[in-house]
Chains A and B, each alone.
Chain A
């Protein structure tokens, strides 16, 4: 299944509406956006397949994330520690987290396997904190696996448009 960065990948620009898995994936991604904006991180963890990989790279063209510096590069353990940090009450930035409203759209299925699909989307997040409103835009790639428990996220890569420049973040997740 393709893992290249959007800029270099040959993208099949369509959302196949005749494939029920595509709509199930879109539904899952919208639910994920809802949970993240609501900061329901424990529920968000439940959307992940075991061994899931959550990446916010700095280099938008990177594919070998292990060998370069990322903003986020989480396995299950790191993701759960991150959730603990955001909900545990010991982080002053998480306690004063920005409010966020995000929209995820422009879905395109870029890979299909028997038990998984890869789907790409655009995410526009508007944050607000202390008199300041800001925008973060990103290309997002989800790999969604379909098992006995229904669809789960096995990989999520968030490529911010400004990942190589200064990035503003205030106690929330992308």
Chain B
């Protein structure tokens, strides 16, 4: 009997395909490997599903995905957060096809089995046929393990999984810093752009802490914004623009060092002229230091944080990836605002988001074009490695011991692939 590389033991093939500074092109093209990734990564680690502001009130729910499995994220009457498999226990129909809403529970449209917001099976119509056959308490919607940190909701199919805080580890400090863009107000979701590209999910995973592509792929966006905004992102020559590997596949890439911690302000930074109308409006009600604090946060945090495997916290938005197949991926760019904050600020943040993001933005279509070109090109030489070795020679540990290099270096990708390799090969 012969064994093709595509169907060989995943533990050996995965190990062979990922080196420290290069990975095999087949990582983007092998359908069998994709199936293993769903089982070994997406169905057993912490996967981001929602932000708490999306289900703020009792009865609120939204649908989401963990790998390729549909789930419902709900807020029950006691304020608890539930993540439920969107599959009726009777014949398997999805019980919710409304993307978001508020309700008392979920009723299967097929035979009207009804479930409460926490997944408990409440009612079976015409129960006579189920006497001594079914106990309702035995058949709730399947519940996933839920963890939250700083308003970010994660879920896992794995019962035995390390605590979310341990998994996030070195990323937690950066999540805390990211939320400071609220300038004292809680962060809220203000909508999202959703698009797909023809390419493997790991192409997207690599992108968020890749500042090397930014001035090249986003030249048309840079030429459309004012010089102040563009110079904020003069990354290639900025020595303070650094990237850190944070462990467990996570990484952060700092693009605007003076905005890495928005609570720190030495007073030397001039507020951008483009926001002068906002300064004027806010100054009617707020003291100057509060106005300055809000306006300095309008572009979000000065860094991109990549959380393995499916969410990034980038400047002023969340980027969520959903693997669809080996060569197709869905991306959501979730716009953020200030809960209870000034309307003029939240509107400006929407306009900034629209300018870059989404299928008709000035940035996202160019990213998607580049990612699609990777998928098409790599198929032409699947045996050739993908290089993630930029900056290897100048990578050094920071004072926390985290591998650190320039923001345009590929330290974040090496960290993600090290985690990928660990998850794809451990236990074998």
Contact = CB atoms under 8 A, between A and B. Distances in A.
Interface of A: 56, 58, 66-73, 78, 81-82, 84-85, 88, 90-94, 96, 130, 164-171, 173-174
B353 A69 contact: yes
Contacts of B196: 166, 168
- 9 closest A-B pairs by beta carbon, nearest first, are A69-B191, A169-B359, A91-B220, A93-B365, A90-B220, A93-B369, A90-B219, A167-B359, A81-B224
B369 A66 contact: no
Given A92-B217, A166-B196, A68 B369 contact: no
Interface residues on B, range: 35 or more
B350 A90 contact: no
A85 B360 CA distance: 11
A84 B224 contact: yes
Contacts of B194: 165-167
B359 A85 contact: no
A67 B348 CA distance: 9
Contacts of A164: 99
Nearest to B216: A92
B366 A91 contact: yes
Contact of A169 (B191, B195, B224, B372): B195
A165 to B, nearest CB: 7
B190 A171 contact: no
Interface in B180-201: 190-196
A56 B360 contact: yes
A71 B359 contact: yes
Among A91, A170, A173, A174, chain B packs the most CB atoms within 10 A around the CB of: A91
Nearest to A88: B220
A174 B366 CA distance: 18
Given A91-B220, A91-B366, A166-B330, A67 B353 contact: no
A22 to B, nearest CB: 29
Interface in B220-236: 220-221, 223-224
Contacts of A78: 355
Contacts of B191: 58, 68-69
Nearest to B373: A92
A71 B194 CA distance: 10
Interface string B153-197: 000000000000000000000000000000000000011111110
B220 A94 contact: yes
Contacts of B366: 91-93
B370 A92 contact: yes
A63 B191 CA distance: 15
B360 A69 contact: no
A131 to B, nearest CB: 10
Contacts of A169: 195, 359-360, 365
Interface string B341-376: 001001100110111001110100110111010001
A127 B190 CA distance: 30
A170 to B, nearest CB: 7
13 contacts: A69-B190, A72-B360, A73-B354, A78-B355, A85-B220, A90-B219, A92-B217, A93-B368, A166-B196, A168-B196, A169-B365, A170-B369, A174-B360
A121 to B, nearest CB: 20
B418 interface: no
Given A91-B362, A169-B195, 10 more contacts: A66-B347, A69-B191, A69-B353, A71-B354, A85-B221, A88-B220, A90-B223, A93-B365, A168-B359, A171-B365
Nearest to A69: B191
B343 A67 contact: yes
Contacts of B351: 73
